[in-house]
Amino acid sequence: MSNPNLDASTNHSTEGESKLVDALVERSRKAMLEFSTADQARVDEVVTAVAWSLYKPENARRLAELSVKDTGIGNVPDKITKNQRKTFGALRDLMRVKTRGVIERDSARGIVKYGKPVGVVGAITPSTNPAATPVNKTMMALKGGNAIVIAPSPAGWTSTNATVETMRQALTRVGAPVDLIQILPQPVSRSMTRLLMEKVDLIVATGSQNNVRSAYRSGTPAIGVGAGNVPVIIDSTAVLDDAAEKICASKSFDNATSCSSENSLIILDDVYDSAIEALKRAGGYLTNDEEKKKIKDQLWVGGKLNRNLIATDADVFASRVGLGEGAEDARFFMVKEQSFDPHSPFADEKLSLVLTVYRAQDFDQAVSLVTGILNVQGRGHSCGIHTNDIDHARRLAEEIDVVRVLVNQAHTFGNGGSFDNALNFTLSMGCGTWGGNSIAENLNYRHFINTTHLVTTIAEDKPSEQDLFGAYFEKYGRD
């Protein structure tokens, strides 16, 4: 039997939250209406102002420091780099495209395309990137002429709120409606976030898979991202020291908070010992069996990752786990698995500076290991390879169910867009239907606009019956 007092309290709370969310969305729509007359140049000016609000060195540092203090996740220098690099790269991408008015003409096909806003965007953002992700999504939303309401992780509310206030100040500076950017107030609850998802026009969810699934169940058009658990191969042709340096830089960046951070390394047998030595030179610490057990016993508590160990500095991790001499000077920690066990926690994402290492007899086994690891978690997300044999990379692209295969790159820096690859800069990686997502690419401006097609007639394009059915008739007849 239900408690009537509890029910009344819950209903009252939900009613209050509903009114609050309604007010936020209404202010968003008014701001959008005011912004609707902005031409492309004005839109780009506003997007640039928001980008500068985080890229500005003192702001990038202040918000990085607050993010680490707020969440206890990652480290300040790398958060600064992330705040600036992702914002700069995204701004580069956005300044090269049109989203207002005529965005494309195809005279030969009689098609003219017009870009228009999708409406009010509800953005679910994670505690791992409480500054960079909200700004990244906001830039894309504003580029399409939309307003955005951010629903942050409760653990990152303080730093995300400070980021939103900084962006709103940037809007004021350029005379744009400040309510184009808003945030759910404290305390952020599941019910309030759910109400927001039901009332906006588009949801963009980054973070836990529970958030993503909730977004898809909301009844509102939603874009979610999949879980990471990146496996990377070092094959017999790789330049080992180069591969090791890139793996170290990627794995250790922001204490492995990125979903694109390497979680497993698969090394071919004939270069295994040399590759391990290269990884040690780059800053890796190879654990022994006793240390491996300590990590297993402490990194997972009750089947869940231990918040006291995830995304901590290497010396802190080594000290808390009780690793041996020299571990505190390392940049990441290697744990050897003698064989692949899908039930081992080391086959899963670790959100820490722990890298699982497998030894593959040949490339066939390496490919099989990649598939097995991604079937544990991360299917659809990405994998990588260090190689001088492009056919090996092509084989991964042909056989592995991922959206991205990175070749000879530091995975964390390349997967979400880089200045030396053509992926869009983003902090939200779509994983296709393999990862339970509606997009199979990096989140980008195209996901924040609707397109109207103006269609005029062209010379008739109608093939003959023989053109279309001829080969079939010849092989199977007309019966």
Query: Which of the residues are catalytic?
Result: 259
Helix (H) or strand (E) holding 336: strand 332-336
CA distance between the termini of the chain = 68
Distance CA 209, CA 240 (A): 35
Distance CA 263, CA 190 (A): 30
List, edge to edge, every strand of the sheet that includes 202-205: 181-183, 147-152, 120-125, 202-205, 222-224
Q: β-strand 202-205 against 147-152: which pairing, if any?
A: unpaired
Distance CA 105, CA 311 (A): 48
Q: β-strand 222-224 against 300-301: which pairing, if any?
A: unpaired
- 3-class secondary-structure state, position 38: coil
Distance CA 189, CA 154 (A): 8
Cβ neighbors of 242 (< 8 A, separation 6 or more) are 386, 408
Give the angle subtended at the CA of 9 by the CAs of 7 and 13, to the nearest 5°. 115
**387 and 393 Cβ atoms separated by less than 8 Å:** yes
| Cα 275–chain centre separation | 29
Tokens of 78: 């790398």
For every residue of 271-311, DSSP letters joined together read GHHHHHHHHHHHTEEE--HHHHHHHHHHHEETTEE-TTTTT
At residue 406, φ and ψ (nearest 5 deg) are: -95, 135
Distance CA 396, CA 345 (A): 24
Give the angle subtended at the CA of 219 by the CAs of 374 and 201, to the nearest 5°. 100
Cβ neighbors of 318 (< 8 A, separation 6 or more) are 285, 327, 328, 330, 333
From the DSSP assignment, how many helices (H) and strands (E) are in the chain? 16, 17
Sign of CA dihedral 3, 6, 9, 12: negative
